[in-house]
Amino acid sequence: MANGTNFKVGDKFRLISGGGDFPLSGAENGEIYEVVSDLRYNHGPYGDKTYKFYYNERKYSAFAKPEQMQLVASKPTKNQRIETLEQTVATLERRIEALESGKSYTHTQRREYVKPPLTPNSRRKAIIAEAKAFVEKTLAEKASQSYEGGIVIGGCYAVPKFFVNDKKRVVTFIAEGPSTKAVRAKAIAKCAPDDVFNADIGKAIALGRALGLDVSRFEQAVKPSERVVGMKAIHNGEICELTNEKIARGNKASVNSFWAEQSTITDDTEAVY
């Protein structure tokens, strides 16, 4: 990639010159760094545009000019990330359809399926992926072209925010005016006492309700039936995150074990399906 490239936040680059000298005193030539800001910084003779990056884990800053940088990896755009999520959801939906019809799915062929039907955990994984794609796509469609990070609601700019309270099992979406703080849209998704909380599904429900969209498929999401690492479960009022060790212990179904079969899955936000 030629030098002088216009970089954006999140791009990774190799520093090719200037390392060790102000304002790159702590940076080293040949090392790879990530752009954290593309604002203009004036440092002595550096009156031209420079890019800010951190050169160590303590987040000490350095500033490089475009000609001192070589692009290594460009951060995917929002549309690219949305497209990837949509492709993942589409693939999962095709597999679900194939499995429910009694056949297995591959990209090249269909053959008779001899394994059990799709499990609740597999269906749960698919709806979580769909919820993530729904949120990113909906915000992208509402995105303002002139106000970075903002969306347009009713012809007005707004800043979208999600608030997740996993203890109360509630997700709130609110869109406020950037300066007036006037509420343009707001909605809450509260997990039912007998349901399993998931922050991504909650975000999709809250966002959809705030914008008047149909989110019934997320409201009716199937509950997981099997424990996996990262889930939270409760028994006799005690909550703990599941690990491989605790799952193995619980599978023994010991009456005296906290992770016996009577414990209840309460949260799968961090579940590794």
Give the bridge partners for 158, in sequence order. Answer: 151
Q: Which residue from 81, 92, 188 is spatially nearest to 140, judged by alpha carbons?
A: 81
Cα gap 93→217, rounded to integer Å? 13
For residue 167, what pLDDT is reported? 94
Helix (H) or strand (E) holding 151: strand 151-153
Listed as ranges, residues in the chain with pLDDT below 50 are 1-2, 113, 253-258, 260
Any idea which residue has 């997740």 for tokens? 164
Cα gap 268→223, rounded to integer Å? 10
Q: Is the pTM of this model over 0.75?
A: no
Half-sphere CA count of 36, side-chain side, radius 13 A: 11
For residue 1, what pLDDT is reported? 38
CB-based contacts of 177, cutoff 8 Å, min separation 6:
156, 157, 158, 159, 183, 184
Q: What are the structural domain ranges in the chain?
A: 12-73, 78-219, 232-267
Cα angle 98-101-106, degrees, rounded to a multiple of 5: 20
Q: Alpha helices of 101-176 — where are they, by DSSP H?
A: 120-142
For residue 5, what pLDDT is reported? 67
Extract the tokens encoding 134.
């729904």
- Determine the 3-state secondary structure of 140 from DSSP: helix
For residue 260, what pLDDT is reported? 47
CA torsion sign, 109 to 121 to 136 to 76?
Answer: negative
Report the 3 state secondary structure along 162-220. EEEECCCCEEEEEEECCCCCCEEEEEEEECCCCCCECHHHHHHHHHHHHHCCCCHHHHC
For residue 250, what pLDDT is reported? 57
For residue 273, what pLDDT is reported? 92
